[in-house]
Structure 1
Amino acid sequence: MQEQYYTSDPTCESRPVPCAFPYRGHGLNFMTDAGVFSKGELDVGSRLLLDALPALSGEVLDLGCGWGAIGIAMAKANPACHVTMADVNRRALQLSRENGERNGVLGRLRIIESDGMSAVMDCTFDAVVTNPPIRAGKQVIYQMFADAAARLTDEGALYLVIRKQQGAESAVKYLKTLFAQVEKLDKSGGFWVLKASRPIR
């Protein structure tokens, strides 16, 4: 059985593969690896999510950061933000550290081992950004959404991407129980990019 990328300690053999992509005027270079989501390339969902994001500032959480594509791109393009990057996968976290240094933003990153938001529930964020691990199951990702709503500022927002065929419509319904406003920022290639704001207290 194939090992899932959302396990804490991947046992598959390390096979590093480089990946590079441009983002808002910056050329970004990464190292990816086996046992981590989207080895060797920026997946379509993450690309759509990054392209839909507004300018960000303050405290930002990249939830389920993987090898660091989203969090590092946000930090590079938004000098006024400090990015916390959280993931359960230790191989992913090590790659994020190395990739943060490789792209010159490590000083504005806080990289934390966390199962969902469990290790950052004492923090407050101006934005939470995630390409959630759909294969972990609805219960897991809905808990991520609920925890994000609880730890966002009143003016904060959750940004996420989800395939329409993997539960986007039901995710919107659930998000509307947590947030007063849920918007579709993009609907391309079978994905929905969502913004959920005004968390309900």
Structure 2
Amino acid sequence: MSEEKNQMYFAADPTAKHDEHVVDYHVDDIDLKFTTDAGVFSKMRIDYGSGVLIKTMKDVTFPKEGILDVGTGYGPIGLFAAKFWPDQTVDMVDVNERGLNLARQNAKNNHISNVDIYTSDCYAQVDNDKKFGLILTNPPIRAGKKVVNEILMGANEHLVSGGVLLVVIQKKQGEPSARKNMTAIYENCEILTRDKGYYILKSTKN
């Protein structure tokens, strides 16, 4: 496998040769178009797990204190959140600069303005004083358990009381351990959805 093809999507500055595509995705009466590229996660289609999270999250109740999408890539989860809750500001963060540039382009092309898209390694560049009512993530499994656990555990410091963490993860890629860790951190973890091996896990900060 070539170095370009083997390059992980969580690289800060992907060097893979550009290969842009436009993908459509719709939920209910919302239809968004996303420009994707090589060097970002799931460039040919909206990842199935992300789709399950998008369809599930629209029915979740949470404190209206802002939303954070961790590992946003080219932006499908965060931009749908911005459409579902136009009265909320959605912070969208990633380490992948190519993905972030695409997310900004996709926000503009879909006429979505209630977003703040910026670089952050997990929560490192998220304002410590800023707390959210909802944190969303399709964590980068290939980055390793340490990164995934940092996303799951770190959310606790960035949620308001009663705030909700929603995670999509496949059973074969660590759902049981993720659920165990979330239960230990938040003292609760609910399975909202199971779909083709993908689980939507929900924890609420007490």
SS at match of 1:61: strand
From 85, 92, 116, the equivalent of 1:85 is 92
Deviation digits for residues 95-123 of structure 1 (CA, Å, limit 9, x no counterpart): 00000011111x21101101111111412
2:39 is aligned, of 35, 41, 61, to 35
Counterpart CA distance in 1 for 2:204 and 2:75 is: 24
Contact 2:71 2:138 in 1 (8 A): yes
Q: In the TM superposition, what is the alpha-carbon distance from 1:143 to its structure 2 partner? A: 0.8
The 2-side partners of 1:188 and 1:75 are apart by 24
Specify the code of the residue in structure 2 equivalent to 1:97: R
- The one of 4, 7, 21 equivalent to 1:3 is 7
User: Tell me, what secondary structure is at the counterpart of 2:38?
Assistant: coil
Q: Runs of 4+ in structure 1 displaced over 2 angstroms?
A: 54-58
* Alpha-carbon distance, 1:79 to partner: 1.3
Q: Secondary structure at the match of 1:193?
A: strand
1:76 counterpart = 2:83 = yes
Q: Spell out the pairing of 1:103-182 with structure 2 (5 A cutoff).
A: 103-105=110-112, 107-122=113-128, 123-182=130-189
Q: CA RMSD in A?
A: 1.2
Give identity over the alignment, percent.
36
CA shift for structure 1 position 27: 1.1
Which is further off, 4-13 or 21-30? 21-30
Residue 53 of structure 2 is aligned with which of 41, 49, 61?
Answer: 49
Structure 1: tracts of 5 or more residues without a match: none
Report Cα offsets for 1:68-109 as digits up to 9, x if no partner.
00000111121121100000000000000000011111x211
